[in-house]
Amino acid sequence: MQATVINYSYNDQTNFTATGNNNTNFDCEALIAYGDSLFLFSKDWVDNKTRLYELPKTAGTYTTVKVGELNVQGLITGAEIIADKRVIVLTGYSTSVSPFIYLLYDFAGNQFFAANKRKVGIKQSFLQLEGICATTDTSFSISNERLETIITTKAKLQTLNLAALLNPYYSTLPAAQVPVVNYTVVHSLK
């Protein structure tokens, strides 16, 4: 498969004057693919919110569509979706470098911020949480950057189990339909 390029601009960004490092609401590190679109969660250094933008996931040049915004009181750095369960897990950290996850669940369509929401702190100080990847419906790998402040935190990959938070919601979902598969044996080994 050959890589393609998607160029985009934010539909609500009107000022393009340089503001210096970490001084903009138009940074982005977190995105998911859902349906035929990409959804970007902004990393808003100025107001500690995240804005949700949508654009097609095909090569081209686009202007994003702003879907909404959420006051997460921190910097969003990663996103993962469990599409069939309608769950999104965002990662981030506060300005005092306290890591958290932000759960969005039971959403309809692309109205992720209208979903049920829950912010959960991670009990590790000075952890610049940066990325997340699901390994199961309730288990995730999370990563953090090396951080040198008062203390030095090494870059590492950790496992995060969210079964206690997600299983109560999963238990309310209809039982999955197991498809009936009809097949014919084409070749049999003896």
Decide if 71 is inside a domain. yes
Question: Are the CB atoms for 116 and 105 separated by under 8 Å?
Answer: yes
Number of domains in the chain: 1
Place of tokens 């288990």: 139
- Exposed e or buried b per residue across 163-188, where buried means at least 16 C-beta atoms within 10 angstroms of its C-beta: eebbeebeeeeeeeeeeeeeeeeeee
Decide if 185 is inside a domain. no
What is the rounded radius of gyration, in angstroms, for the C-alpha atoms of the chain? 19
Decide if 139 is inside a domain. yes
Decide if 54 is inside a domain. yes
Tell me the per-residue pLDDT of 59-97, one tens digit each, with 9 for 90 and over: 999 999 999 999 999 999 999 999 999 999 999 999 889
Contacts of 58 (CB under 8 A, 6+ apart): 4, 6
User: Residue 32 is part of which domain span?
Assistant: 6-170
Decide if 182 is inside a domain. no
**Closest alpha carbon to 34 in 67, 1, 73, 9:** 67
pLDDT band at 176 (very low <50, low <70, confident <90, very high): low
pLDDT band at 18 (very low <50, low <70, confident <90, very high): confident
Domain of 108, CATH number, reads: 2.120.10.30
Decide if 141 is inside a domain. yes
SS3 (DSSP) at 51: strand
Decide if 91 is inside a domain. yes
pLDDT for 127 equals 86
Question: How far is residue 78 CA from its own chain's centroid?
Answer: 5
Decide if 93 is inside a domain. yes
What is the average per-residue pLDDT within 12-19? 90
pTM listed for this prediction: 0.89
Place of tokens 């609401």: 25
